[in-house]
C-alpha cells in the first residue's frame, strides 16, 4: 500500500513529526511516497525507504493521501484526492485542524490504514463558475464560496437565486455559500449552524447583514444557485473560493454554484471524528 504524504517539509512543526510518520507507516508495511522536491530534506533527516515522485505521479500511484498540517492543507490537497478518487487522512499540526482525523500524539492509529480498519466520511463539493463580461472561470470548493465587499466599499445588495427563483436579497458585508463541511468554518464564525456532513445541502449565511432579522438558509442541492449583487455608489465586490484568490466581479457578472460530481472521502479511523471534533475543538477555547 502506497501512502502519498502531502506536506510542506520546510515547515518546522511538520518536519518535527515527519520521521515518526514515516516509521509508523513502514512498521505497518506501507510505502511512504513524497514529492521529489523534498528529497534533500529527507536525506538530511537520514530517512530511508521513501519513494519519490512528482505530485501528479504520486497522486496516480498512491492508495491514500495523507496530509500533515491544518485544514488549509486538507483543502489544498483534498481537491486533488477527489479528482483521483483517492481517500484522504489528515494529521493536524495546525491550530484547529477540524477535518484532520489524527493529532500528532496518536500516530500509532495510522497502522489501521494497512489493516483497512477505518470508515469513510464522504464530503460534498461544489462546482463554481464565475462569469464576467470577458470570460468564465471554473473552480471546485470543499468548504465555501464567499462574496465580500472591498475594504472601503459601500454596502452592496446581494441577491441569491435557486433554480431561477429569488430566495434572498440582503445588504451586507458579504455572503457565504457553504457545503456541510464548510458549515464549521467561516459560516460558523458568521453565526451559521453546524451541519452533519451526511446531509447534502447548500448553506447561505450573510456577513454582518444590515437588518434586524437575518438567519442562515439551507437549500436543496437539486437546483443550482446563482449569486449577483446590486452596487450602491462605490460598491466593489470580490469572490473567493475556499479562501483562495480574490476575484473582482461587477454588478453585471454572476457566480453560479452547483453540487459537484466530485466528492472527497475523508478517512475516519475512530468512526466518530466529526462529532468528536465538534466537542473537543469547537466546544472549548483554543489553546
DSSP 50: -
Residue given cell 465580500 in the structure block: 148
Rounded alpha-carbon distances, angstroms, from residue 7 to 11, 68, 92, 258, 284: 9, 5, 11, 30, 28
Residue 196 among the catalytic residues: no
Burial class (CB in 10 A: 0-12, 13-18, 19+), 268: middle
Instruction: Detail the DSSP E strand segments found in the chain.
Output: 2-6, 31-35, 51-53, 64-69, 88-92, 102-103, 119-131, 136-141, 144-149, 157-162, 165-171, 174-178, 202-207, 217-219, 225-230, 237-241, 247-249, 254-268
Instruction: Tell me how far apart the alpha carbons of residues 214 and 160 are, in angstroms, rounded to a whole number.
Output: 14
Neighbouring-strand partners of residue 249: 237
Instruction: Tell me how far apart the alpha carbons of residues 64 and 2 are, in angstroms, rounded to a whole number.
Output: 7
Instruction: Name the residue among 69, 22, 85 with its Cα closest to residue 50.
Output: 22
Q: Please tell me which residue in 71, 144, 242, 253 is annotated as part of the active site.
A: 71
Positions annotated as catalytic residues are: 71
Amino acid at each position: 500500500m502506497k501512502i502519498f504524504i502531502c506536506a510542506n517539509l520546510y515547515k518546522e512543526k511538520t518536519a518535527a513529526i515527519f520521521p515518526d510518520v514515516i516509521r509508523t507507516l513502514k512498521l505497518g508495511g506501507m510505502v511512504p511516497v513524497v514529492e521529489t522536491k523534498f528529497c534533500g530534506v529527507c536525506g538530511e533527516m537520514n530517512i530511508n525507504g521513501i519513494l519519490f515522485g512528482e505530485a501528479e505521479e504520486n497522486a496516480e500511484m498512491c492508495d491514500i493521501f495523507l496530509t500533515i498540517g491544518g485544514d488549509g492543507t486538507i483543502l489544498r490537497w483534498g481537491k486533488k484526492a477527489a479528482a483521483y478518487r483517492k481517500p484522504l487522512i489528515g494529521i493536524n499540526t495546525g491550530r484547529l485542524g477540524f477535518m484532520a482525523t489524527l493529532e500528532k500524539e496518536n500516530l500509532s492509529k495510522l497502522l489501521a490504514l494497512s489493516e483497512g480498519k477505518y470508515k469513510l466520511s464522504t464530503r460534498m463539493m461544489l462546482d463554481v463558475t464565475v462569469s464576467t463580461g470577458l470570460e468564465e472561470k471554473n473552480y471546485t470548493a470543499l468548504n465555501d464560496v464567499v462574496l465580500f465587499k472591498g475594504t472601503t466599499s459601500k454596502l452592496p445588495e446581494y441577491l441569491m437565486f435557486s433554480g431561477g427563483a429569488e430566495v434572498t436579497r440582503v445588504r451586507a458585508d458579504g455572503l457565504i455559500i457553504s457545503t456541510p463541511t464548510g458549515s464549521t468554518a467561516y459560516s460558523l464564525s458568521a453565526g451559521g449552524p453546524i451541519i452533519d456532513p451526511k446531509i447534502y445541502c447548500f448553506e447561505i449565511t450573510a456577513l454582518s447583514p444590515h437588518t434586524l432579522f437575518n438567519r442562515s438558509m439551507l437549500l436543496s442541492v437539486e437546483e443550482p444557485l446563482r449569486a449577483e449583487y446590486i452596487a450602491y455608489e462605490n460598491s466593489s465586490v470580490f469572490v473567493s473560493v475556499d479562501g483562495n484568490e480574490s476575484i473582482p466581479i461587477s454588478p453585471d457578472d454572476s457566480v453560479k454554484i452547483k453540487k459537484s460530481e466530485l466528492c472527497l472521502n475523508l478517512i475516519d479511523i475512530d468512526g466518530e471524528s466529526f462529532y468528536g471534533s465538534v466537542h473537543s475543538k469547537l466546544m472549548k477555547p483554543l489553546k
